[in-house]
Amino acid sequence: MGTTVFERRAPRPSVVDHALQDTVFGTFWLDDIARTPYPALPGDVDTDLAIVGGGYTGLWTAIRAKERDPERRVVLVEASRIAWAASGRNGGFCEASLTHGYQNGRTRWPDEIDRLERMGLENLDAIEETVKRYGMDVDFERTGALAVAVEPYQVDELREEENFLDRDAVRAEVNSDTYLAGAWDKDGCAILHPGKMGYELARIATELGVEIFEQTLVRRIDAEPSGAVTLVTDRGRVTARHIALGTNGFPSLLKRNRLMTVPVYDYVLVTEPLNGELRASIGWSNRQGVADMANQFHYYRLTPDNRILFGGYEATYFPGGKVRPEYEDKIESHRLVASHFFTTFPQLEGIRFTHRWAGMIDSCSRFCAFFGTARKGRVAYASGFTGLGVAATRFAADVMLDQLEGLDTERTRLQMVKERPIPFPPEPAASIGVNLVRRSMDQADHNEGKRNLLLKTLDAIGMGFDS
């Protein structure tokens, strides 16, 4: 078994110690904004549409519902605060892909992939148009994304890309001597400020007439004799003609979806702002989002004030599949991410990280969102974005609204929308399986990307997995 560049060129432990010495355990994106509080549900409410979840899925659904029908009453309830979970903790990559990349989509839906790619770009264009139309302060930049090869076997994977960059060309974009080649997708990705995005979506929603209630925990869904459906919360009851669920990686309110996703934790660091000399040492004048090509990959980007956000690689599933705050503070994972940062940018040795945090990813077995309805079509859901939900949540909002309104649209006719992924096994089998897969992916990354029998079998049955 070989080594990776991150092992061959690991920095001295003292470099990592220095960089993490004064790091705050907290999410940079949420510390960087003034968060508007919303009231808790004051009691029982009747509405046309009730939405569960104050992240991107719920907020986009609220906005799209009011844009379609301004007279429709829409109530959104959130157990904690707006955008506090995955929506406020991600890397801020707003990618067009609805299928977790072209290859995953082509493998699963070969007859639909061209349509899915087109619809994904149209959805990203619509997000950009929405940002402009409502004057959203979200630091939106249509930079594109740079895929980089850091091992020789990965270079061949990139050669077929339309915008292939050889070693010199990719290093002219971003100066890391780990790069052997790259490909720049100039249209399919933007970067933005996740925290600002969450609160700007909430602002727009309320300006359109949506009623948002925070600190309101939904306990269950009840069916009413009238045909309506009710959210039973710890603050009162919300009775509605329709319900849209945007709970993602949290335990589903529908029993049928309890095994459809698993929570996987991803660890992230943000540096202090780079001064002019350090900024010049890495180039990066086009400010693309960057990701490398391994199974266990890293993603990184510049913030508006020229910090570097660097995360990924070690996606962690904890036994039992629970969502718990203590899983976010895993210093050994942050040390590993810091080590890989300095392998990538050794010229930045001496810089410090100001923030470290983790986010929970709602992972499903096909890597991209799945959809459906329940309670005789009165409840719709979308979940399982597997780390690519910043843009896809808007598409999901339209899918759910189409379904609730009984519309036959290009979206609802997609096999990707009609099909459900294979569920995960219950515990303890899930823990055993996920950890075996993670070990197999690590072995592949140390063996020129060659997948073992377990990974090949999972690929064949539609449960292939990447980080």
- Residue 382 and residue 41: Cα distance in Å, rounded? 24
pLDDT at 36: 87
Whether the link from the prior residue into 225 is cis, omega within 30° of 0, is: no
Half-sphere exposure of 321 (CA within 13 A, CB side): 23
pLDDT at 264: 94
Residues (pLDDT < 70) of the chain are 1, 463-467
pLDDT at 467: 46
Burial of 9 (0-12, 13-18, 19+ CB in 10 A): middle
pLDDT at 449: 83
What letter represents residue 398's amino acid?
D
- Per the CB < 8 A criterion, the answer to whether 260 and 364 are in contact is yes
Q: b/e string for 179-201 if b means 16 or more Cβ within 10 A? A: bbbbbbbeebbbbbbbbbbbbbb
pLDDT at 463: 67
